[in-house]
Amino acid sequence: MRVRDFALVLLACPLLAPASPTAAQRLPVPILGRTTEVTLESGTRLSGELIEATASGLLIGAPTGFERTELVQVRRVRVRQHDFTSGDALTWVGIGALVSGIGMTLACSQVEDTSCGEVFPAVALSFGLIGGLFSLGITSSGWRDVPVDAETLRAYARFPQGAPTGFGRAP
């Protein structure tokens, strides 16, 4: 096969192959708004998905239905940044401690005339201690206070440009 023929085959292959999704189609795109806790001036708390944030108010998708509130009544807004909890962190710390302890013990056992009985507990305990201390702040880092400003809050809404007409209203 000549170089020119090989080049033609390479050019024709993508045309013969079935269409594959583009990279943008394969990436998970969050289509929901962030979980939000809104505290009103009256002390009432609203919690749910932030649907829209406009200059006039917020639309929250709560488990009981949609709740609309005026922006001037909002005292505090907290937005959920991630769902990684201390329990999740401790699970991964435990897995890391186990794997690291076993790996270091196996590596130690390859050296002649050594006693490796204390390697596993030392590695696992140090891993667990340091990881455990860091996991204490994980759950609280999942929430972020956001300024009560429509422009700032739009970034966290399902519909940053505003909800479609009739969305979240009673039929």
Q: How far apart are CA 161 and CA 154, in angstroms?
A: 8
Contact 158, 33 (CB under 8 A): yes
Residue 76 CA to its chain's centroid (Å): 22
Q: How far apart are CA 97 and CA 91, in angstroms?
A: 10
pLDDT in tens, 118-130: 999 999 999 889 9
Q: Which domains does the chain have, with CATH numbers?
A: 24-82+140-154 (2.30.30.100), 86-135 (no CATH)
Q: Is residue 4 over pLDDT 90?
A: no
pLDDT in tens, 89-137: 899 999 999 999 999 999 998 888 888 889 999 999 998 899 888 888 8
Q: What is the largest CA-CA distance in the chain?
A: 80
- What pTM does this model have? 0.61
